[in-house]
């Protein structure tokens, strides 16, 4: 029964990661293409898709929590029973934890992307301004 729970939580996390990866593919690609060169943007986009899967699956499949189902009962601990209610709760928890992990990762990415975008814009405007002042001084 434990292996079924592990497999189902992994599959649910994988589906959640696939959906989120598809939803955010265009925004991530667009942001990276504005910040870095296209060939590097492709590599970073691929890496971010991989990171979504890693973070989402590791957040959704909580191995430390699932180990409780394998522990031997003691005087102070009784392993949780895998009832239908527990299955529903575990699947729901897997979805929420996967989404939460991915959301934090994407938040960090978008914050750094915003900072990089501002830096690129500031340096782009400065180089334009310097180029136009250099042109005027030569006349």
Give the pLDDT score at 67. 81
pLDDT tens per residue, the chain (139 residues)? Answer: 778 888 999 999 999 999 999 999 999 999 999 888 888 999 999 999 999 999 999 999 988 888 877 878 788 888 778 888 989 999 999 999 999 999 999 999 999 999 998 998 888 877 777 776 655 555 5
Domain boundaries, the chain: 2-110
Q: The whole model's pTM is what?
A: 0.81
Do 2 and 69 meet the contact criterion of CB atoms below 8 Å apart? yes
110-124 confidence digits (pLDDT tens):
999 999 989 988 888
Q: What is the CA radius of gyration of the chain?
A: 23
Q: What would the DSSP string read from start to end of 16-53?
A: HHHHHHHHHHHHHHHHHHHHS-HHHHHHHHHHHHHHHH
């Amino acid at each position: 029964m434990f292996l079924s729970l592990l497999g189902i939580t992994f599959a649910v996390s994988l589906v959640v990661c696939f959906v989120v990866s598809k939803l955010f593919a265009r925004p991530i690609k667009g942001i990276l293409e504005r910040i870095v060169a296209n060939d590097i943007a492709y590599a970073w986009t691929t890496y971010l898709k991989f990171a979504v899967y890693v973070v989402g699956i590791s957040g959704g499949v909580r191995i430390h929590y699932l180990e409780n189902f394998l522990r031997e009962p003691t005087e102070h601990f009784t392993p949780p029973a895998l009832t239908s209610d527990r299955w529903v709760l575990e699947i729901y928890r897997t979805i929420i934890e996967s989404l939460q992990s991915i959301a934090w990762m994407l938040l960090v990415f978008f914050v750094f992307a915003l900072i990089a975008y501002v830096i690129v814009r500031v340096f782009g405007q400065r180089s334009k301004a310097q180029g136009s002042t250099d042109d005027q001084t030569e006349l």
